């Protein structure tokens, strides 16, 4: 069923929902889902409304034109998504398979509604698996180069990714730190999975850090990428129980299951326009 999703952020005041739902009802719109949040700290209001396409008496572009005056009146930042226009996804990956394997399983089974455009990697390991899906696999070696060559590699990476015109870039255990320019080029559109329950164990080797500290649960965090490493707005997290008998390798094994689940959930919500950025945090209408 084709659907439009309207997402809105604006200063909180009385009458926003009445105005927006009145506008939609006035055009025959049948609402499938609606969720809202007024944030007391920032004074911002967040709204997501999902409407069946066939119920509206307008095409998406006409909706956008007709809605603009109302949006201006309330000083809204807003967008209307059309489920018929699937978001373009580029996946970046290094050598570890678990996240990309899970995303591609969900993609081919229809769980994730999007168009995976390409997979980009600094290694060759996953080429055969990706290509079995009929997807292009782009290789940008960036292992052990000196700084100059490294900058060239990232320029090549940025060029290749950009050529695929992604709506979303997913770092599915991509083990390189992206340059700030790359992060800045896709604000709120790069999704990373970090293999710890942030803010604990940011940085390298989080499972070893967790083992050393003796925690009783480990976790993973899906977040938007910003130039500040591991500090972007958190989309989703989860944890699982471990015990004293689990070695760092066991933690990595358990952690892989958390990572792939949390990343898939976060990406799914992003694709469905359920995640609205609120400063350094997120509003998630799950």
Compare residues 161 and 258 and give the one whose CB is closer to a second copy. Answer: 258
Give the whole-angstrom CA distance, residue 121 versus residue 171: 10
Give the whole-angstrom CA distance, residue 263 versus residue 286: 14
- Under the binding rule (CB under 8 A), the answer on residue 21 touching a second copy is yes
- Under the binding rule (CB under 8 A), the answer on residue 31 touching a second copy is yes
Query: Could you give the 3-state DSSP secondary structure of residue 158?
Result: helix
Contact region for a second copy (CB under 8 A) — 125-133, 136-144, 145-153, 173-181?
A: 125-133
- Under the binding rule (CB under 8 A), the answer on residue 1 touching a second copy is no
Name residues contacting a second copy, limited to 209-238 (CB under 8 A): 213-217, 219, 233-238
Q: Return the structure tokens found at 152.
A: 């060239």
- Measured from the CB of residue 189, what is the shortest distance to a second copy in angstroms? 18
Q: Return the structure tokens found at 63.
A: 């909706």
Give the whole-angstrom CA distance, residue 162 versus residue 156: 10
CB 175 within 8 A of CB 94: yes
Q: Return the structure tokens found at 56.
A: 């509206």
Q: Return the structure tokens found at 119.
A: 């997979």
- Under the binding rule (CB under 8 A), the answer on residue 37 touching a second copy is yes
- Under the binding rule (CB under 8 A), the answer on residue 56 touching a second copy is no
Name residues contacting a second copy, limited to 177-196 (CB under 8 A): none
- Measured from the CB of residue 73, what is the shortest distance to a second copy in angstroms? 14
- Under the binding rule (CB under 8 A), the answer on residue 42 touching a second copy is no
- Under the binding rule (CB under 8 A), the answer on residue 206 touching a second copy is no
Contact region for a second copy (CB under 8 A) — 26-34, 64-72, 163-171, 179-187?
A: 26-34
- Under the binding rule (CB under 8 A), the answer on residue 94 touching a second copy is no
CB 77 within 8 A of CB 48: no
Task: Kindly name the residue from 102, 167, 230, 273 that is annotated as catalytic.
Answer: 230
Contact region for a second copy (CB under 8 A) — 10-18, 59-67, 154-162, 165-173?
A: 10-18
Map tokens 């609120």 to a residue: 278
Burial class (CB in 10 A: 0-12, 13-18, 19+), 127: middle
Q: Which long-range contacts (CB under 8 A, 24 or more apart) does 229-233 make?
A: 229/177, 229/202, 229/203, 230/194, 230/198, 230/199, 230/202, 230/203, 231/199, 231/202, 231/280, 232/192, 232/280, 233/277, 233/278, 233/279, 233/280, 233/281, 233/282
Is 249 designated active site? no
Compare residues 114 and 157 and give the one whose CB is closer to a second copy. Answer: 114
Binding track, positions 253-282, relative to a second copy; x by CB under 8 A: x--xx---x----------------x-xxx
- Under the binding rule (CB under 8 A), the answer on residue 36 touching a second copy is yes
- Under the binding rule (CB under 8 A), the answer on residue 250 touching a second copy is no
CB 114 within 8 A of CB 87: yes
Which residues are identified as catalytic? 230
Binding site for a second copy (CB under 8 A): 14-15, 17-19, 21-22, 24-26, 28-40, 55, 97-98, 101-102, 105, 108-109, 111, 128-129, 132, 197-201, 213-217, 219, 233-239, 243-245, 247, 253, 256-257, 261, 278, 280-284, 286
């Amino acid at each position: 069923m084709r659907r439009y999703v309207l997402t809105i952020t604006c200063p909180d005041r009385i009458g926003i929902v009445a105005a927006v739902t009145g506008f939609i009802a006035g055009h025959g719109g049948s609402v499938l889902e609606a969720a809202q949040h007024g944030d007391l700290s920032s004074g911002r209001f967040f709204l997501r409304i999902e409407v069946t396409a066939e119920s509206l008496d307008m095409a998406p572009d006409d909706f956008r034109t007709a809605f603009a005056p109302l949006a201006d009146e309330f000083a809204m930042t807003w967008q209307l998504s059309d489920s018929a226009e699937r978001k373009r996804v580029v996946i970046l990956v290094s050598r570890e398979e678990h996240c990309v394997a899970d995303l591609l399983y969900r993609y081919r089974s229809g769980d994730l509604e999007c168009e995976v455009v390409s997979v980009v990697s600094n290694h060759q390991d996953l080429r055969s698996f990706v290509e079995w899906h009929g997807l292009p696999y782009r290789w940008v070696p960036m292992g052990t180069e000196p700084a100059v060559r490294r900058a060239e590699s990232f320029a090549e990476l940025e060029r290749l990714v950009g050529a695929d015109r992604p709506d979303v870039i997913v770092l599915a255990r991509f083990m390189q730190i992206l340059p700030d320019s790359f992060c800045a080029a896709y604000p709120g559109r790069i999704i990373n999975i970090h293999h710890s329950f942030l803010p604990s164990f940011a940085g390298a080797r989080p499972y070893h850090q967790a083992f050393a500290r003796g925690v009783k649960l480990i976790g993973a965090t899906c977040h938007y990428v910003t130039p500040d490493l591991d500090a972007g707005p958190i989309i989703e997290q989860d944890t699982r129980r471990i015990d004293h008998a689990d070695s760092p390798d066991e933690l990595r094994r358990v952690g892989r299951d958390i990572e792939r689940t949390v990343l898939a959930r976060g990406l799914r919500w992003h694709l469905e326009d359920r995640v609205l950025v609120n400063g350094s945090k997120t509003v998630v209408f799950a």
